Amino acid sequence: MIKLSERLEIIANLIDENETMADIGTDHGFLPIALWERGICKKIILSDINKGPLEKASENIKATKHGIEFDLRLGNGLETILPREVSTLVIAGMGGALITEILAADLEKSKSFEKIILQPRNGQSKLRYWLLENGFNITKEELVKEGLYICEIIVAKPIYKESNENISWLGINFELPGIEMIKGNQLIREFVEKKIKTEKKIINKIISGGNKEFPLNNEKILRSEGRIIFMEKYLEKVDEKNGNHICGV
C-alpha cells in the first residue's frame, strides 16, 4: 500500500467513496494509486502534460503489483478529459496562476465537474479571486505542513451544483414533466432539447453583447448554465428509464 505525504493524505480524505476522479498534473501518480488501493474511486484518470511524469506514474503503478491498467492521458490541462467525465478534479502542486489558466481555458468544462480540489503552491489570492468571479463557491479549505511550507488546499464547487438541493431558484424543476409520468414518451427528448437550445441562445446573446452592461459571468449566464446542466441530467435519467444506451457526452 502506498503511503501518502500528509499533503496528499488530506487531499485523499476530501474525496468520498464512489466519486470518480481525474488527477491533472499527476506526476508520480501517488494520489490516484492510493485512492484505487483504498477502494475509494471506481474510475480514475491520471493526466499530465509531460511524458516523463506519466512514465514515472506507470513505474509506480507497476511497483504496486496489482496488475491493474490505469487510465493514463498525455496532454495540457483539461484537454485530456471530457465534460462531466468524472465527478471530481484534483489539480495539485502547481502555481495558482497555472491552475487558473487550466480552469479558465474551458470554463464550461471546468464547471461541469461536481467538485474541484486545488492545491496552489503560490498565487492563492489570484486563484480564489478567479474562482469567486467565475461562478464557483469555495466550500472548504485545509492547511497542511510540508517541510517549511504551509500548503493551502481549496475545495471549489460550481454555484449551481452547490444550490442543487434547492434548485427552485432556477425554476427549471417545475418546467419539466415528472420522468415517471412520461416514461416511454418519444417527445420528451425533443421537448427538453428545445429548452436547452433556448438557454444556449440566451448565453450566446449575453456573450456577444459582452460589455460593461453584460459582464460575461453575470447572474443570467450562471442561471442558464445551471438550467442546462439540470436538463442534461434529466435527459440522462430519461434515457436510463427508457433503456437507451448513451454514447459520449
Nearer residue to ligand SAM within complex by CB, 24 or 159: 24
The least distance separating ligand SAM from the CB of residue 198, rounded to whole angstroms, comes to 35
Using CB under 6 A as the binding rule, whether residue 18 contacts ligand SAM is answered as: no
Q: How far apart are CA 104 and CA 20, in angstroms?
A: 22
* Nearest partner of 89 among 123, 150, 143, 131, judged by Cα: 131
DSSP 3-state helix, strand, coil percentages of the chain (rounded to 5)?
A: 45, 20, 35
Give the integer Cα–Cα distance in Å for 197 and 210.
20
CB 236 within 8 Å of CB 246: yes
Question: Contact with ligand SAM (CB under 6 A): which of 18, 76, 139, 185?
Answer: 76
- At 127, which helix (H) or strand (E)? helix 124-133
Identify which of residues 73 and 189 has a Cβ nearer to ligand SAM in the complex: 73
- For residue 217 the three cell numbers come to 459571468
CB of 27 to ligand SAM, least distance (A): 3
Within residues 98-117, the interface with ligand SAM by CB under 6 A covers 98, 102
Q: How far is the CB of 114 from ligand SAM (least distance, A)?
A: 20
Give yes or no for residue 25 binding ligand SAM (CB under 6 A).
yes
**Residue 50 or 218 having the CB closest to ligand SAM:** 50
CB 146 within 8 A of CB 5: yes
The verdict on 217 binding ligand SAM (CB under 6 A) reads no
Site for ligand SAM in 177-196 (CB under 6 A): none
List 4, 22, 24, 127, residue binding ligand SAM (CB under 6 A):
24
Determine if 96 is a binding residue for ligand SAM (CB under 6 A). no
Contacts of 83 (CB under 8 A, 6+ apart): 108, 109, 112, 249
Q: Which of 70, 86, 93, 188 binds ligand SAM (CB under 6 A)?
A: 93
User: What residues does 48 pair with on adjacent strands?
Assistant: 74
> Closer CB to ligand SAM, residue 30 or residue 234?
30
Contact characters 32-71, ligand SAM, x per CB under 6 A: ----------------xxx--x------------------
Distances (CA, A) of 10 to 35, 47, 92, 117, 140: 12, 20, 12, 11, 12
Total residues binding ligand SAM (CB under 6 A): 15
CB of 81 to ligand SAM, least distance (A): 11
Burial class (CB in 10 A: 0-12, 13-18, 19+), 189: middle
Rg (CA), the chain: 20
Per CB under 6 A, does 94 bind ligand SAM?
A: yes
127 binds ligand SAM (CB under 6 A): no
| Cell numbers standing for residue 221 | 449566464
- The site for ligand SAM (CB under 6 A) is made up of 24-27, 48-50, 53, 76-77, 92-94, 98, 102
